[in-house]
Amino acid sequence: MKKVTLIFIFSMAIAAFANAQATRTWVSGVGDDVNPCSRTAPCKTFAGAISKTASPGIINCLDPGGMGAVTITKSITIDCTATLGSALSSGTQGIVINAQTTDKVVLRGLDINGAGVTLGTNGVNVIQAASVALFNVRIANYSGAGVETTNSSNQIALSLDNCQVLNNATGVLANSSGSGSTLLTVSNSQIENNTTGIDIEGPSSSAQVSHTIVSRNTGDGFKLGNGTSGAALDSSTFSFNGNGVDASAAGGTIRLSQCIVHANFTNGVTGAGTTKCFSNNAIAGNIGSNACSSPGNALQ
């Protein structure tokens, strides 16, 4: 009888905890993580709010503040669109996403910065999820990647729209391994002043870059570093990089349409892989190669 009673009490405690989670929670620069994270009693940090937010729920920012680093393990949206939600992670990672393979994560209106005596290691590290979408997110000053995928299984859809990724070792890195892969979409963004701008290193991964400026990266602006992967670059500018566009691995294919590849300091378009350029690109004024390896057409 005593054992049954203990099981009942334990079950009630779990149910009470689940019921305590809210669909929408709030954080504030003057909040407190002991609070329930409600609109009138907000938490202070993303880490404090996430345990009190049901999946798939939303964490909103009430006012400007440093909301801290966080590890995300479930479907969640963190939205600070109406104000400034910041995560400073000197010496550590900013946001780690290690959720289920069916979980969907959205980050919107955030400033993620690794500045400090010791730079942060990675801005956003996606270890596992179904999809991760970044909208209007600014990421800067990381010794590793601004945004990266490091999954070793399943496919992750990673998208960046209207984002700024600046002053990192690598701006955006698709670094899947094993049976993992990345579907990367970058649109309406600025990837600038990194060592490498966008780097596709994972197997069987794909990238679509459109209406994006990739500039002032000291190495490659865009690099396709795996021979089983491919990329389509459309209506984007690659300028003032080392190499503008580099299909560095044999077997990989990059297709360019309506792109400007200009004033790169080593080559405009280069690499051991295939670069197919449609006739509506402007590839000129680069120190080295200004030519793709083959023309593109509607069937290639």
Tell me the whole-structure pTM to 2 decimals: 0.92
What is the C-alpha separation between 229 and 153, in angstroms, rounded? 16
Average pLDDT for the chain? 93
At 210-227, the pLDDT tens digits run 999 999 999 999 999 999
In contact, 161 and 134? CB cutoff 8 Å: yes
pLDDT band at 297 (very low <50, low <70, confident <90, very high): low
Q: Which of 181, 155, 163, 82 is nearest to 124 (CA)?
A: 163
**Domain regions of the chain by residue span:** 59-295
pLDDT at 254 over 70: yes
C-alpha distances (whole Å) from 285 to each of 137, 163, 165, 221, 223 are 32, 27, 25, 15, 20
Residue 159 pLDDT > 90: yes
Q: What is the CATH number of domain 59-295?
A: 2.160.20
DSSP per position, 140-178: E-BSSEEEEE--SSSEEEEEEES-EEESSSEEEEE---T
What are the φ/ψ torsions at residue 85 (nearest 5 degrees)?
A: -105, 120
pLDDT at 298 over 90: no
Instruction: Give the pLDDT band of residue 13 (cuts 50, 70, 90).
Output: very low
Q: String of b and e for 140-150 (b: at least 16 CB within 10 Å)? A: bbbebbbbbbb
Distance between CA atoms of 32 and 19, rounded to whole angstroms?
Answer: 21
Q: What is the mean predicted confidence (pLDDT) over 192-209? A: 97
Predicted confidence band of residue 4 (pLDDT cuts 50, 70, 90):
very low
Q: Which pLDDT band, with edges at 50, 70 and 90, does 295 fall under?
A: confident
pLDDT tens-digit map of 268-294:
999 999 999 998 999 999 999 999 998
d(CA 249, CA 189): 25
Supply 8's token pair: 């009942």
Does 15 score more than 50 pLDDT?
A: no
pLDDT at 296: 66
